[in-house]
Amino acid sequence: MAAAKFDTPKMREYPSIPALQPDATAHLKSFLAAPEHNTFLGFPGELVENWQEKAIEKMGDLLGKYRGLRVFMDACVKCGSCTDKCHYFQGTSDPKNMPVARQDLLRSVYRRYFTFAGKFFPGLVGARDLTREVLDEWYNYFHQCSQCRRCSVFCPYGIDTAEVSMAAREIMDSIGYGQKYCNEILGKVQKVGNNLGLPGPALEATLEEFAEEISDDTGCNVEIPLDREGVDVLLITPSADFFAEPHIDGLMGYAKVFHAAGISWTLSSYASEAANFSMFIGSYSNMKKVAERIRKAALDLGVKRIIVGECGHAWRVAYSFWNTLAGIGSGGDDPYAQQLQKQLDHSYPIPQHICEFTWDLIQQGKLKFDKSQNDHRVVTFHDSCNVARATRMGTEPGGQFDIPRNVIKAVCNNYVDMAPDTIREVTYCCGGGGGLLTDDLMELRVKGALPRMEALKKVIDEDKVNAMAAICAICKAQFTKIMPYYGIPMDTIVSLHQLVKDAIILPGQGEEEAEPAAEATE
Amino acid sequence: MSFLTVLYALLFYTATALFIVGLAYKIRQYATTPAPLKIPTTPAPTTTGGVVFRMAREVVLFESLFKSNKWIWLFGWMFHVALALVILRHFRYFQEPVWGIISFIQPFGMYAGFFMVLGLLGLWVRRLFVERIRYITNPSDHLMLALLVGIGVSGLMMKFVRHTDIVMVKAFFLGLMRFDLQPLPNDGPLLVHLALVALLLIVFPFSKLLHAPGVFFSPTRNQVDNPRERRHLAPWAAELDK
Ligand code: SF4
Ligand code: SF4
């Protein structure tokens, strides 16, 4: 693929709002899905003949199914509050990357076909016919939204552009105009069990290798079990944890925590994927199918707890949607949800995030650390959007910010936060979320990372930060790829549980050979 | 009865009917459309009481707007609070006897009119001169501001420049409410003021003014953050379980 050359944006000393450059990223179009990717998911293979009529019909259908969409289409007053909040706008200067302008791509069509004013006075209210140009604009710009929800924090009516872009993608899928990256992956997870298409035996071999590596390192017999029945915990983690750096180190971190706490656990080859890209394309039915694989795995393996590894949107789907989609949670009174509920141990949250799990053990004093093992690092933490703005950890609102930081501080001596207007609730997206982590959108990914890179550069310069921990597979993959564009070493990005892995002392570890181990660290 | 009186009476009956029916239709539509997934923008309250408090901060203080942009917040909030006072003050033209609280806010309500217009002008200046906001503006957005400024200015004219026979006006509206027409004074600013108000009532259910009921139905703000504890299931989604 011969990607066009582009310039990495200059880091600004004081982030300012860029002047508009209309159509600056109008040329960015991610690859269309091949017919077989679409049809497998139940969508037409190619753009259908009467696509316009079908699209409007689908829009009507969604307006009747999603109150959010309905209210968001009507309620915007064009106040402008959200206009400067999107990292893609900041990085590209394209006005259509302003959240309200992105919504307007859909809203203009909504007004034309579904409102009195738009039917009779289209010019007055900015209503547009759904033409081929409009459809292509939808395709391009609704695939320049990472569904990070940063704009929704600042909208006086909570209008969430993520919801709008999910609806737009769902409409496009319904007429055979889907995106390759998302749809191809969704096929793999439903055929093979994970986004990679990594079959069971290959997965088993990989996991054995990792387990050996930890055991060699520590002298303890650490396992990474697969498909083991009757254990306490089923761990559902993004498949990137099985092959990508620095994800693997996170996986080894989880394994060490389970080992140290003496809690039996397993991965599942049938449900070897926490990611659920159906959310990105707004497909409820596919999201449900992928979530049901996890319920099936939990029932088949007879586990008592379900824990989710480091992945942002996956945690959103797990925390916010699993109970709805597949009854994985508490409080369902339908017979359907109750079967699983009977099996699961309700003294723990269902599902539980790996950070909640580790933090709980730390609080109980069940884990031992040598924090000095992380002394070569000055660590900061990147709040992933979906975790920050669409989920919670622990019992208190905001636990999703504090618990990961607490874990880091329990295993590292040097921690600093990035600027307050770039973290926690108002954190900036990595630039690669929401189904955009594909090479055909490299320019967008690099440009969209600008605000995060600026904030990181600042703490690198001022506080000598050399490690940014994250708890999202997409964030980690994205940063590894784009940091070099900004002159930041790619190994600056680390898994949160990588820090845990490096500091944790397993029971019995180093007892016979305490001396050599201490030497080896120097 | 003069032609003018009959005309305005009909205008107000029509406008009020459209306003009520249109708004009721939209509210019903919002209320009956399911929200199939839990999508509160977090951190979000974990209890219903917490959500009521969050909504109250949003509706009374414009909390999210405040986080975002102090200028838009200042003008927007000023306009809305002033408008609320002005509307309350106008209650006295529809009741006999006038409630104590309405009499109490009279003086505030009178001067609130100035702040209302000031807030609107501030918003308008931003719409005209801030490039990003100009980009997202449609003609209807200007017209809406013009309408509201027109209402504010014509109202202030009556109060401070050319007094209208307010006793007659009140008799007219009390009469309207009892279906017993009383003459309306033939006064320029008053007629403009009333015509614009009627227009506002008419366009309300068809325009972005729907943000007023809409904000209460916004799932990102009004949902309780408890998806792990409660199974949240919309009727159409429950069908898929079968
Ligand atoms: S959801 Fe995120 S990426 Fe999408 S428009 Fe809003 S701020 Fe931009
Ligand atoms: S902040 Fe909300 S109401 Fe204001 S322009 Fe953006 S989407 Fe519209």
**Nearby residues of A230 by Cβ (< 8 Å), 6 or more positions away:** A301, A302
List helix spans (H) across chain B. 3-32, 48-56, 63-68, 70-90, 100-129, 131-135, 139-156, 166-177, 188-203, 211-217, 219-222, 235-241
Q: What is the pLDDT of residue A332?
A: 79
Instruction: Locate A241 and state its tokens.
Output: 């944890």
Q: What is the pLDDT of residue A521?
A: 44
Asked if B62's CB is within 8 angstroms of A78's CB, the reply is no
Q: Which helix (H) or strand (E) holds A261?
A: helix A247-261
Q: What is the pLDDT of residue A513?
A: 52
Q: Yes or no: say if A277 and A33 are a contact pair by the CB < 8 Å rule.
A: no
Q: Give burial (CB, 10 Å; 0-12/13-18/19+) of B131.
A: exposed
Asked if A123's CB is within 8 angstroms of B39's CB, the reply is no
Going by the DSSP 8-state scheme, the letter that residue A179 receives in this structure is B
Half-sphere exposure for A353 (CA within 13 Å, toward CB): 31
Please list the ranges in chain A whose pLDDT falls under 70: 1-4, 336, 511-522
Q: What is the pLDDT of residue A511?
A: 67
Q: Is the CB of A98 under 6 A from ligand 2?
A: no
Q: What is the pLDDT of residue A279?
A: 98
**What's the length of chain A?**
522
Whose CA is closest to B41, among B213, B215, B219?
A: B219
**Cα B204 to ligand 2 centroid, rounded to whole Å:** 18
**B135: nearest CA partner in chain A:** A95
Asked if B233's CB is within 8 angstroms of A334's CB, the reply is yes
Q: What is the pLDDT of residue B159?
A: 85
Please list the ranges in chain B whose pLDDT falls under 50: none
Q: Tokens 């010019």 sit at which residue?
A: A123
Q: Which chain B residues have a beta carbon less than 8 Å from that of A160?
A: 39, 41, 220
Q: Yes or no: say if B110 and B159 are a contact pair by the CB < 8 Å rule.
A: yes
Instruction: Locate A128 and state its tokens.
Output: 């547009």
Asked if A323's CB is within 8 angstroms of B227's CB, the reply is yes
Q: Which chain A residues have a beta carbon less than 8 Å from that of B147?
A: none
Q: Suggest the residue from A166, A289, A324 to mutate for an interface test with chain B (most B CBs closer than 10 A).
A: A324
Asked if A149's CB is within 8 angstroms of B41's CB, the reply is yes
Q: Which helix (H) or strand (E) holds A236?
A: strand A233-236
A149: left (phi over 0), alpha (psi -120 to 50) or beta: left
Q: What residue owns the CA closest to ligand 2's atom 2? A: A155
N- to C-terminal Cα distance for chain B? 66
Pocket test for ligand 1, best of A28, A150, A478 (most atoms within 8 A of CB): A150
| Long-range CB pairs of A208-214, under 8 A, 24+ apart, other chains included | A210/A248, A210/A251, A210/A252, A210/A255, A211/A255, A213/A252, A214/A252, A214/A255, A214/A256
Q: Which helix (H) or strand (E) holds A469?
A: strand A467-470
**What's the length of chain B?**
242
Q: What is the pLDDT of residue A218?
A: 94
* Residue A458 to residue A477: CA distance in whole angstroms: 22
Q: What is the pLDDT of residue A519?
A: 44
A34: left (phi over 0), alpha (psi -120 to 50) or beta: beta
Residue A285 DSSP SS3: helix
State the greatest distance between any 2 C-alpha atoms of chain A, in Å, as a whole number. Answer: 84
Q: Yes or no: say if A156 and B65 are a contact pair by the CB < 8 Å rule.
A: yes
Q: What is the pLDDT of residue A26?
A: 96
Asked if B72's CB is within 8 angstroms of A81's CB, the reply is yes
Q: Tokens 């707890």 sit at which residue?
A: A305
Q: Is the CB of A169 under 6 A from ligand 1?
A: no
**pLDDT, tens digit (0-9, with 9 covering 90-100), for A469-483:** 999 999 999 999 999
Q: Give burial (CB, 10 Å; 0-12/13-18/19+) of A487.
A: exposed
Q: Yes or no: say if A480 and A404 are a contact pair by the CB < 8 Å rule.
A: no
**Cα A137 to ligand 2 centroid, rounded to whole Å:** 20
Q: What residue owns the CA closest to ligand 2's atom 3? A: A76
Number of Cβ within 10 Å of residue B228's Cβ equals 22
List A369's β-bridge partners, or say none: A504
Q: What residue owns the CA closest to ligand 2's atom 8? A: A76
